[in-house]
């Protein structure tokens, strides 16, 4: 049994908010549920109420009745308040990004070198990646690095390279946003903004990224629980993002054989908690090029709606994450078995040439989401 969470509609003052909360409390009591009133006071008052735990059947009835109240914006039933990551009026269960389709049985591959290194390297390589099965190009212009002495990315020059590669190839660009002050320039270039593992819980950055309305690739924090991961996605959605991809990229563990422990169980697990598409990044999940291909296969068998894979024209020369980079031919070989595996589990691999589409393409028009 889980509690019912209630999000109160935004109102001008705390007094009206408290009044709305009292109305909710009175209605909840009709079902024998107690309500914990919003905490805080004045402008700092919470907008959520927590009702006592109840069975799903009761929760559905309570939520339906409460949703009709004018003072209530949304309701949810679960461990934590998740109002938007399961709400088809707020977030997409599947969407199109350039050649890629994520969700509703479609799996697409996003690939590229860890970092943008040069235009001359990236342009021909992007085209080759597409021919080998990638549907979007991912490369970092701003790189979060563990050591202050390691390559931090080309920054704005990297963004310019990405923009030109997009112009010439049409491939959708995915690139990381590291600092709030870069939001506008990253959103101008990226068809999808990446929030990296180190920033999953950076609520200020999530708000900035969500407010752009751009699709977001949200990577799971390296020590984040599923609940924390979902609440980070909720923060993006609450800020305005409607197209969110959840990315499993492995967790910290005690065995130095691999960089992280790739939690593939999170794929089916997340699908019990949210309708958002889930992608898997075996490159950071393992950190070893020789282990990537079988885990790409395992991820799609587990139901992943997409893969994020690091591929480099000359892996040993990669300026970052060289040990996990696949060569182009290794990538092509790893992609080869995916289509039959996906077919066996009732799904399909989307490539630039296969082009069958799923329902909603991303557009800047947010009118399909009346909440905003």
Q: Considering the rule CB under 5 A, would residue 178 count as an interface residue with Mn ion? A: no
Q: Which does 315 bind (CB under 5 to 8 A by kind): ligand PEP, Mn ion, none?
A: none
Q: Which of Mn ion, ligand PEP, none lies near 197, with the C-beta cut-off 5 to 8 A by kind? A: ligand PEP
Q: Which stretch binds ligand PEP (CB under 6 A): 38-46, 56-64, 192-200, 351-359?
A: 192-200
User: Is residue 153 a contact point for ligand PEP (CB under 6 A)?
Assistant: no
Binding of ligand PEP by 144 (CB under 6 A):
yes
Nearer to Mn ion, 241 or 286 (CB): 286
Any contact of residue 259 with ligand PEP (CB under 6 A)? Answer: no
Torsion on CA atoms 22, 27, 29, 31, rounded to nearest 10:
-160
Q: Which is nearer to ligand PEP, 86 or 283 (CB)?
A: 283
Q: Which residue number is nearest to ligand PEP in terms of Cβ?
A: 196
Binding mask 267-306 for ligand PEP (x = CB under 6 A): -----------------x----------------------
Closest CA to 154 of 111, 122, 110: 122
Min separation Cβ 42 and Mn ion, Å: 45
Out of 208, 238, 248, 321, point to the residue binding Mn ion (CB under 5 A): 321
Chain Cα centroid distance, residue 259 = 21
Q: Which CB, 135 or 197, lies closer to ligand PEP?
A: 197
217 makes contact with Mn ion (CB under 5 A): no
Smallest CA-to-CA distance from 82 within 19, 3, 18 is with 3
The radius of gyration of the chain's CA atoms, rounded to the nearest angstrom, is 22
Give which of 175, 197, 195 is closest to 186, Cα–Cα: 175
Residue 311 parent element (H or E):
none
Torsion angle defined by CA atoms of residues 166, 357, 108 and 223, in that order, rounded to the nearest 10 degrees: 100
> Beta-carbon neighbour count of residue 223 at 10 Å?
12
Residue range at the interface with ligand PEP (CB under 6 A); choices 21-29, 47-55, 181-189, 196-204 = 196-204
Task: Give yes or no for residue 249 binding ligand PEP (CB under 6 A).
Answer: yes
Stretch that binds ligand PEP, among 43-51, 116-124, 190-198, 338-346 (CB under 6 A): 190-198
> Binding string, 95-114, against ligand PEP, x = CB under 6 A?
-------------------x
Contact positions with Mn ion (CB under 5 A) in 95-124:
114
Residue 333 to residue 235: CA distance in whole angstroms: 38
Contact of 183 with 177, CB cutoff 8 Å: yes
Q: What DSSP element (H or E) covers 196?
A: none
Assigned token pair, 210: 């969500």
Q: Is 75 helix (H, G, I), strand (E, B) or coil?
A: strand
> Is residue 196 close enough to count as binding ligand PEP by CB under 6 A?
yes
Note whether 310 and 350 are within 8 A (CB): no
- Does 197 help bind ligand PEP (rule: CB under 6 A)? yes
Question: Stretches 27-35, 73-81, 191-199, 263-271: which one binds ligand PEP (CB under 6 A)?
Answer: 191-199
Instruction: For residue 329, give Cα distances in angstroms to 18, 127, 133, 190, 325.
Output: 62, 14, 11, 27, 12
If one asks whether residue 312 binds ligand PEP (CB under 6 A), the answer comes out as no
CB of 217 to ligand PEP, least distance (A): 9
Residues 6 or more apart from 318 whose CB is under 8 A from it? 113, 114, 115, 117, 312, 325
First to last CA, the chain: 31
Which residues ranging from 166 to 185 are in contact with ligand PEP (CB under 6 A)?
Answer: none
Report what 124 binds from Mn ion, ligand PEP, none; CB cut-off 5-8 Å by kind. Answer: none
Contact 305, 276 (CB under 8 A): no
Residues of this chain that bind ligand PEP (CB under 6 A): 114, 140, 144, 196-198, 219, 249, 284
Residues of this chain that bind Mn ion (CB under 5 A): 114, 321
């Amino acid at each position: 049994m889980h509690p019912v969470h209630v999000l109160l509609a935004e109102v001008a003052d705390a007094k009206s908010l408290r009044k709305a909360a009292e109305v909710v409390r009175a209605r909840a009591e009709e079902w024998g549920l107690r309500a914990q009133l919003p905490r805080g006071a004045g402008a700092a008052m919470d907008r959520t109420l927590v009702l006592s735990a109840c069975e799903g059947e009761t929760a559905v009835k309570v939520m339906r009745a409460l949703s009709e109240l004018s003072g209530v914006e949304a309701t949810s039933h679960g461990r934590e308040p998740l109002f938007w990551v399961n709400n088809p009026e707020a977030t997409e269960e599947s969407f199109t990004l350039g050649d890629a389709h994520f969700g509703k049985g479609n799996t697409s591959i996003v690939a590229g070198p860890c970092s943008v290194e040069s235009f001359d390297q990236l342009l021909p390589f992007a085209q080759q990646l597409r021919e080998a099965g990638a549907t979007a190009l991912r490369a970092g212009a701003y790189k979060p690095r563990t050591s202050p002495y390691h390559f931090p990315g080309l920054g704005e020059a990297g963004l310019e390279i990405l923009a030109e590669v997009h112009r010439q190839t049409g491939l959708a660009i995915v690139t990381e946003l590291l600092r709030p002050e870069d939001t506008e320039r990253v959103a101008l270039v990226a068809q999808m903004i990446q929030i990296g593992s180190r920033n999953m819980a950076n609520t200020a950055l999530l708000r900035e990224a969500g407010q752009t309305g751009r699709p977001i690739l949200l990577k799971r924090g390296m020590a984040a629980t599923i609940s924390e991961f979902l609440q980070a996605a909720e923060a993006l959605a609450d800020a305005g993002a409607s197209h969110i991809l959840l990315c499993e990229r492995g967790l910290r563990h005690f065995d130095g054989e691999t960089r992280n422990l790739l939690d593939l169980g999170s794929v089916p697990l997340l699908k019990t908690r949210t309708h958002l598409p889930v992608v898997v990044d075996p490159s950071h999940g393992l950190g070893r090029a020789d282990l990537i291909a079988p885990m790409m296969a395992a991820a799609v068998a587990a139901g992943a709606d997409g893969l994020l894979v690091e591929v480099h024209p000359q892996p040993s020369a990669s300026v970052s994450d060289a040990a996990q980079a696949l060569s182009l031919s290794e990538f092509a070989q790893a992609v080869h078995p995916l289509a039959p595996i996906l077919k066996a589990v009732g799904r399909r691999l989307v490539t630039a040439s296969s082009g069958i589409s799923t329902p909603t393409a991303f557009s800047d028009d947010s009118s399909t989401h009346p909440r905003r």
